[in-house]
Amino acid sequence: MALIPMVRFLLTSVLVVLCTYSLQAQSLEDLRGEAGAFYTFADPSDITIEVKVWGAVSNPGLYEIRQGVHLGTLFSLAGGPQNSVQNASTSRSFSLRLYRSQGEGEPILLVEQYVEDNILLLNEDPVLMHGDLLVLEEQVRQKFNWRDGISILSAVGTLVLVVERLISSGG
């Protein structure tokens, strides 16, 4: 009987769709297109390096800083996470990544840290080097609310009616 596999497929499809969590994140390609600026945080007599800051920071751009500056200091200079309007139906989290160029090849991921409650608590605070790339990625998650529950109940009810009709029509 071909009806049972079809019903299993429909139920599995509905469960997969319902269990999918809404997640919006920026890719590195999206972050590269953001407007940035050039910032200098060094005295004229300092030996400086240039590092890039991309993503959901308040002040993305190219930073000229004195040699020996730590990651946490650069994060503060960039203004931390963007202050965007947040409503009760969403939650935000941030992921901070520091990439270091190793010659001609792909940059390596040196540090990956999650930012909680807009506070960066680093397990390690490495000294930055010329050409480092700091990326702050924001994830916005839609919280489950009563409207979502009604949609699920409606979909399940419709599915039950379809299965009942298929069975009663001689399936």
Q: Which of the four pLDDT bands, split at 50, 70 and 90, describes residue 32?
A: very low
The continuous run of DSSP H or E covering 13 comes out as: helix 3-19
The continuous run of DSSP H or E covering 9 comes out as: helix 3-19
98 within 8 A of 148, measured Cβ to Cβ: no
Integer angstrom CA distances of residue 137 from 38, 128, 133: 20, 19, 13
pLDDT at residue number 117: 62
pTM: 0.60
For 81-94, what is each residue's pLDDT tens digit? 887 666 666 777 88
Average pLDDT, the chain: 78
Q: Which of the four pLDDT bands, split at 50, 70 and 90, describes residue 35?
A: low
Mean pLDDT of 110-120: 76
The continuous run of DSSP H or E covering 167 comes out as: helix 146-168
82 within 8 A of 137, measured Cβ to Cβ: no
Query: Above 50 in pLDDT, residue 28?
Result: no
* Contacts for 122 with CB less than 8 Å, ≥ 6 apart: 71, 72, 111, 113
- Find which of 65-69, 118-122, 150-154 is predicted with most confidence, using mean pLDDT: 65-69
**What distance in Å separates the CA atoms of residue 65 and residue 43, rounded to the nearest whole number?**
9
Query: Above 50 in pLDDT, residue 46?
Result: yes
